[in-house]
Structure 1
Amino acid sequence: MNKRRRSMHARPEMIKILAAVVSLSVVLAGCGGSNGGGESDTGNAGSNADADAGAKANDAAGTGNAAGAGNEAAAGDKNADAAGGDAAAGSGEKITLTLWGWSGKFQTDFTKIVIGEFEKEHPNIKVKYMPDQGGNDKLTTLIAGGTPPDVAILDRFLAGAWAAKGSLESLTPYLEMDSEISGNDYYPAVWAEGNYNNEAYAMPFGTDNRGLYYNKTLMKEAGLDPNKPPTTIDELDSMAEKIFKKSTSGGYEQVGFIPWMGQSYLYTQSWNFGGEWTKDGELTPNDPQIVKTLEWMTGYAKKYDMAKINKFNDVMGKTGINPFWTGKVGFMVDGNWILNDLKSNAKVKPTFEWSVAPMPSEEGYPQTTWAGGWSFAMPKGGKHPQEAWELLKFITGYKGTLLWAKRADAGNDITAMPKVNEEIKIADNPQLKVFLDMMPNAHFRPVTPAGQKMWDETFRVQDLALNGKGEPKKLLDEVKKNVDSELKKLQAK
């Protein structure tokens, strides 16, 4: 199952506008670590941010231990509710919990590796696995009908939207009463993405981020130092220009860099330009630095001819492998998960030298990334909240995370917990270490009920701008208007 969005072509038909968050019937675009199941683009949305709702990741980590003075009274009531399941949990009464998760191989492996161990440690609790057939529509119906699963997997990026609809239980009361787990156990951005209005609603399950893959062989052929990848946008532009090579037919035989190939979205690149998607509690998709990012992207479409780039991408699409592995791309932004291609895709047999580095940034701004991923949460209305918390805590805590990280086909996954990543020594892989080192300062998409709308809108206007159908500033002003309208509509419900 591959839920990561691949935007190689900037054509209208390739940009699917996903369903609005208002119904929560969304196509998961979230970007998250593969974790052996669904992969997210939004994204395990994946993972940090200086954004307002998402910007103070380190502050949000504190939610794992306290909801804040302003929430003390409410938290007290919730603490009483959270403790309500203790009697059943401690009485030995047999309880059956339902867990909503991906079907297929993930269901088989997760049930055996993680759920099986949980049931051994909790003999009075039986976990019934419920495959997510029907997706978010079905989950929404179950919650509305008062028959929700006790625990459910969610695109972490959308946890805030579910919470805003009143569809999730706040986890803050449980965290405040439980000394075994806290927000400090996770990367700041990964934790903050599951928080909404200073309360935790989702526990992280895996993560990912994005870096710059570079072809050392093409760099060498272009007269560049293959051991010095670009660190600034200007360096990237200059190096890429030297690698572009036209074919005898007038198209491109190889390209230097395409800023909308792979995971190089407007969201991805904007943080490298210092863009802020929220500021002072307001959504700011038309931030001047985000506008500048889209102008830079459209500059490539104009300079290198959008039609020729699309033809090149057509050829790449027929290879059956990621464009970078063809050896015809000098620089490409993509996630840690494509490292898995080296073992899982028989067609991937690179005959060129390559490596990975952090993405270049605009002069004066730090090189950065964004992380996505998945999460588990407790839907509103579950019959056994305390037992559900025990399951949730096990799955996403140290034990469950470590068990899942050690599975045979974990590949190049990054877990949401630094301690587990250290224990399984993923830093011993030099390419994967590049991604791991970026996690502490990674960004994440804003936590807002209108998050899906803003995500969809950015792809819509990116497509228009690249195809010469609008100026970046006007298009992003339009996005601002649309997301504000969506947010107002959602908040009025």
Structure 2
Amino acid sequence: MHIPHTHRRFSAFALCELFLVFVTLSATLLAGCGSSTSSDANAKLTYWHLWPDKFYGGIQNNLVKTFNQTKPGFTVTPQAQGDTSKFLASVSAGNPPDVYMVPSGPIQLAVQGALMPLDNYIKNSKVIKQSDFWPGTWSACTYKGHVYCIPYVFDSFALFWNKDLFKAAGLDPNKPPTTWSDLETYSKKLTKYDNKGNISQLGFAPWIGSTSAAEWPMWADGGQMWDYQSGQPTMTQPGNVAGLQWEVNWAKEFGGYDKLQRFNSSFSGNTSFLGQKVAMWVGESYYLSSLQQYEPNLNFGVASFGIPRPDASHPYINGSVDGNMLAIPTGSKHPDQAWKFIEWNATTGVHSWVTQEGDSSARKADINVQPTVLKEPYRSDYSIFAKLLSGPNVYYDQGSPVDLYYASQRDTEFDLARRGKVTPQQALQTLQTDVQGQLKKALAHFHG
């Protein structure tokens, strides 16, 4: 689960500026990595998590309260702060939190020198074992043989649809689309326009409403944006070009990208579905708790997002793009105590989080956990997401040393292609070239 209803984006300028700061500091920070161990039994630790709201943030704050009450010896103070740029600035200033919940890009943060390697802690731990986590989640925390974070929650994706809108459009409300052709046919029937030709209700668009699965058309088309074994970008693969071309064609089919974006700007985040303006979209498990809270009368369905292309090498992708991880920042004043809190929060804590919030744990042992916060039928739908994490068609984003830069540039180039300013091939070639250049710079200063 990422930050609910919010996606943090970083400009290339800001990312490069922060990168340059860490070029000058990385050697010093890494040289002192793990050396500031504190044995102070009365230590006061700061923990940055991601959720400022009363529901999600309140649950995380209560978990910390439980830890403080049941694990005496030191105190953890939670603070909602998920902005990666602010985190990097705190490390640069020598005043980071003791524990940081990473929203995205842990490998880039590690390469920049902002995260401590946890290898020795893991080696001596009786609580944290690599085999206890889904392989893809552990890989997302690992780079060049070192582990820099512990997986917390990871999200699979499924298709949500509004059954009432299906019925009104003459579609069977209990039969979601099962092919890309079906998806387009359904979308045309479910899209409405006002008297000025503007979209008033949208059936579906690959990039609208989708929470984190920005690349699912590429996965479903047999493409892959990164070769994680070699650590190199592979953006110009035919499957990636075909996937982006499909998005470009989709935009043309529904009046052009600008028209779709004007519709998209009329609401924010997940309110697209809550407001019944979008009939179908790709969502994560935690959205079930949002529906239960804010739209309890909504008549919806959830299904495995099996929308394959006929020529794909696999039937479909239900992917976990990435998740949230727990890390010890470089410069933490209490790394030993921070590790003890991570051990608890990544096991007992995340189990309780799933129960109360409805997210998907990165731990295999939690696969059958049923969130008590969810009522029927939400709880039954949740089991769909949990099963997908262990399925054969899940794709895990294992991360790269330039993840945050890559995400920003990817969105820019994808938008240019959808607007018709460049071809998909040109967009992906530019992305490949830019990312390779940034990757070379990042690795030149990596001392791991």
> What is residue 309 of structure 1 aligned with on the other side?
260
> What is residue 152 of structure 2 aligned with on the other side?
205
| Letter paired with 1:17 | S
**Residue aligned with 1:370, SS:** coil
The answer as to 2:334 corresponding to 1:340 is: no
Deviations 1:15-47 (A, max 9, x none): 87365545558xxxxxxxxxxxxxxxxxxxxxx
Q: Summarize the alignment of residues 40-51 of structure 1 with structure 2, pairs less than 5 Å apart.
A: none
Q: Summarize the alignment of residues 228-267 of structure 1 with structure 2, pairs less than 5 Å apart.
A: 228-263=175-210, 266-267=214-215
> What is residue 484 of structure 1 aligned with on the other side?
436
Residues 343 and 465 of structure 1, relative CA distance in 2, 3 Å threshold: same
TM-score, normalised to structure 2's length? 0.81
Q: Summarize the alignment of residues 25-36 of structure 1 with structure 2, pairs less than 5 Å apart.
A: none
Deviation, 1:475, is: 1.1
> What is residue 123 of structure 1 aligned with on the other side?
72
> What is residue 29 of structure 1 aligned with on the other side?
none
Deviations 1:44-86 (A, max 9, x none): xxxxxxxxxxxxxxxxxxxxxxxxxxxxxxxxxx9xx989969
Contact 1:188–1:440 at 8 Å: present in 2 too?
no
Contact 1:21–1:161 at 8 Å: present in 2 too?
no
> What is residue 331 of structure 1 aligned with on the other side?
280
| Letter paired with 1:287 | Q
Deviations 1:407-460 (A, max 9, x none): 4xx2x3222224234243579722222222222243233411111121111211
User: Quick one: distance in 2 between partners of 1:96 and 1:256?
Assistant: 51
Unaligned runs of at least 5 residues, structure 1: 7-14, 26-77
Q: Summarize the alignment of residues 44-443 of structure 1 with structure 2, pairs less than 5 Å apart.
A: 88=39, 93-102=41-50, 104=52, 105=54, 109-111=59-61, 113-129=62-78, 132=81, 135-155=83-103, 157-263=104-210, 266-279=214-227, 280-306=230-256, 307-313=258-264, 316-317=266-267, 322-345=271-294, 349-350=297-298, 352=299, 354-363=301-310, 364=312, 365-371=314-320, 372-397=322-347, 399-407=348-356, 410=357, 412-424=358-370, 429-441=379-391, 442-443=394-395
| Letter paired with 1:123 | P
Contact 1:213–1:357 at 8 Å: present in 2 too?
no
Deviations 1:310-340 (A, max 9, x none): 45445x529x972334445342223333323
Deviation, 1:146, is: 4.0
Deviation, 1:202, is: 0.9
Q: Of residues 415, 424, 432 in structure 2, which corresponds to 1:472?
A: 424
Deviation, 1:357, is: 3.3
User: Quick one: distance in 2 between partners of 1:118 and 1:245?
Assistant: 51
| Letter paired with 2:6 | R
The answer as to 2:6 corresponding to 1:4 is: yes
Q: Of residues 431, 447, 451 in structure 1, which corresponds to 2:403?
A: 451
Residues 380 and 310 of structure 1, relative CA distance in 2, 3 Å threshold: closer
| Letter paired with 2:349 | G
| Letter paired with 2:74 | I
Contact 1:189–1:440 at 8 Å: present in 2 too?
no
| Letter paired with 2:44 | T
Calculate percent identity across the aligned residue pairs: 25
Deviation, 1:160, is: 0.5
| Letter paired with 2:96 | P
> What is residue 59 of structure 1 aligned with on the other side?
none
The answer as to 2:415 corresponding to 1:463 is: yes
| Letter paired with 1:374 | N
> What is residue 72 of structure 1 aligned with on the other side?
none
User: Quick one: distance in 2 between partners of 1:260 and 1:146?
Assistant: 39
Deviation, 1:185, is: 2.0
Deviation, 1:252, is: 3.9
Deviations 1:98-152 (A, max 9, x none): 32335744666534x323333344432233445549x444433443344433222
User: Quick one: distance in 1 between partners of 2:166 and 2:335?
Assistant: 56
Q: Of residues 11, 19, 34 in structure 2, which corresponds to 1:17?
A: 11
Residues 118 and 333 of structure 1, relative CA distance in 2, 3 Å threshold: closer
TM-score, normalised to structure 1's length? 0.74
Residues 121 and 82 of structure 1, relative CA distance in 2, 3 Å threshold: farther
Deviation, 1:192, is: 1.9
